[in-house]
Structure 1
Amino acid sequence: MWTSRLEPQELARAAASAAAAGLAFLELPLLRLEGLAWREIRAVLRDHGLGATCSLGLPKEAKLPDYPERARAFLLEALRVAHALESPLLTGVVYGTLGEPPSRPPGVGDLEAVAQVLKKVAREAQTLGMRLGVEPVNRYENHLLNTAAQGLALLEAIGEPNVFLHLDTYHMNIEEKGFKDPILKAGSRLQYIHLSESDRGIPGSGNVRWDEVFSGLASIGYRGPLVMESFVAVSPEIARATCIWRPVAESPEQLISEGLTFLRGKARASGLLA
């Protein structure tokens, strides 16, 4: 929303705005791990009374299922960084690379290879007291996991108790036949959600059926993070991966004043916020 660069000065600006808006944490994208000033970043967050969660997609040189050892090494390093940032979890497209359409559908062997890598990573996360999330995304961004049902099947194949499902309403709007039913089927395995509009812009201004989303979350007794995700400040890497070529909102301030207000209203009405 505020910046695509994990630099202390840039993050300080984002953290000040997030704290002023009453947010509890920032989601930090760990797309590049080299040279990350995690001590300074952690200090900025602490100064503003904010927590952190961490997300990522695999880089091309460590994509799954092609390069399992490289993927495992990258994810283990990302876990260490996330732990240093005091994030309780690492989530996102931990199973693949964004924005690279394949020439064939995924095979059984592909998903088995992914599960084997993520099982090892999940066990390492457990030693750090962390959880690992799996986020299905739409067919144009990755071909391995597109629906909640596919995500749950991968969780079963991984078979580790600290692995959870991470849903995103933007992707659900493309791939699911509705919003409430996948949430109900996920149940307690759903522990993280991106609240993102159908155009990735201001929540409440598009086609996502928000009453279904919040009704489903309330029905399963959801108490995980409620993450407003939008893209105003995008890096070239994020733009390519998500195909965002035009502004989806005027400014972060508009997202906060309109989108966050809308989401908080829905969450309160559903009993998810006091």
Structure 2
Amino acid sequence: MRFGAHLFVWTAEAVPETVARAAREAAEAGLDFLEIPLLREDLPLAEIRAVLREHGLGATSSLGLPREAKLPAYPERARAFLSWALRAADTLGSPVLTGVIYGTLGEAPEEPPRPEDLEVVARVLREVAREARTLGIGLGIEPVNRYETSLVNTVDQGLALLEAIGEGNVFLHLDTYHMNIEEKGFKAPIERAGSRLGYIHLSESDRGTPGTGNVRWEEVFAGLATIGYKGPLVMESFVAVSPEIARAACIWRPVAENPERLVSEGLAFLQRLARRAGL
């Protein structure tokens, strides 16, 4: 199993100096990769990749669409931003581009999404998926809670969007923080995702250290074992967070004491459960 962590465990600044600190501590903790958020188009991507390689780490990449390129309002802008993000992921050496690639976090809607809205989202992501295939990159759809988007909140909605996109390199990306809000349990939704599950954020109910909140972790890992999950296991917490994500996810107070303790205690907890589940 490959364990990784989101860059925001350590820093909100994706620049070589701060990534180097995160990479050093991640490597010392025994992690295999860092998840790099692609929220800005001026990131020093080649330098970040070099820093990660220096510490023996790989990369994955994630994002939410910026307001000026949100779907379904601005399909051409979203298409252009995602095209840039694919090239950025390729430069990082990331095999995936995942997250809320279908929407903008924290945009409170005035009404439920209409079928035609979801058709626009599916059309744009179908085009992006075909471009991603030429780069050998998979696309992940992450359902997130109702307070952050109205478009895709549950496993079943995520699977429906995958079917509407209809491309084989698109997978489901689950997050236990959001599942704790939107799903009735953990094991059954993971089993429904089945072979379409390609990525998972292991996040506590308060986004703090795994094992200290309300997520039913035994159930999570039982579900992963049942489906024979072999994808990345990513610890996501926000000790440091960019202004965009702080605003979108309403993170206004610390959720963990410090990254060192979060990683050492949280990773040990998750690895112990993974071994116990036979992963």
TM-score, length-scaled by structure 2 = 0.96
**Which residue type is aligned with residue 13 of structure 2?**
R
The counterpart of 1:147, out of the listed 154, 169, 175, is 154
Give unpaired runs (5+ residues) of structure 2. 1-8
**Higher RCO structure, 1 or 2 (CA under 8 Å, sep 6+):** 2
Of 260, 266, 271, 1:259 maps to 266
Counterpart among 112, 122, 126 of residue 119 in structure 1: 126
Matched, 1:95 2:121: no
Task: Return the letter of the residue paired with 1:230.
Answer: S
Q: Which residue of 2 aligns with 1:69?
A: 76
Q: Paired residue for 1:240?
A: 247
Letter of the 1:11 partner, please give it: V
The Cα shift of 1:158 comes to: 0.2
User: Unmatched 5+ residue regions in structure 1?
Assistant: none
C-alpha deviation, 1:11, in angstroms: 0.3
User: How many angstroms apart in 2 are the aligned matches of 1:210 and 1:226?
Assistant: 13
Q: How many angstroms does 1:257 deviate by?
A: 2.1
Pairwise mapping of residues 20-169 of structure 1 onto structure 2 (< 5 A)?
20-33=28-41, 35-169=42-176
Name the count of aligned residue pairs.
271
> How far does the alpha carbon of each residue in 1:178-198 deviate from its partner, in whole angstroms, 9 at most, with x for none?
100110011000010000000
Structure 1: distance between partners of 2:167 and 2:179? 25
The CA deviation at 1:256 is 1.4
> What SS is found at the alignment partner of 1:145?
coil
* SS across alignment from 1:253: helix
SS of the counterpart of 2:195?
Answer: helix
Q: Which moved more, 1:153-162 or 1:239-248?
A: 239-248
Q: SS at 1:232's partner residue?
A: coil
Q: CA deviation at 1:241?
A: 1.1
Aligned-residue offset at 1:5: 1.0
Tell me how far apart the structure 2 counterparts of residues 38 and 222 of structure 1 sit (CA, whole Å): 30
How far residue 251 of structure 1 moved from its aligned partner, in angstroms, is 0.2
**What is the Cα deviation at residue 271 of structure 1?**
1.3
**Alignment RMSD (CA, Å):** 0.5
1:225 equivalent in structure 2: 232
Q: Deviations over 1:129-180 (max 9, x none)?
A: 1100000000000000000000000000000000000000000000001100
Q: Which residue of 1 aligns with 2:20?
A: 12
Provide the C-alpha distance between the structure 2 equivalents of 1:252 and 1:178, rounded to a whole number of angstroms. Answer: 28
Following TM superposition, by how much is the alpha carbon of 1:259 offset from its aligned partner in structure 2, in angstroms?
Answer: 1.1
Percentage of matched positions with identical amino acids: 74
Give the aligned partner of residue 199 of structure 1: 206
Aligned to 2:220: 213
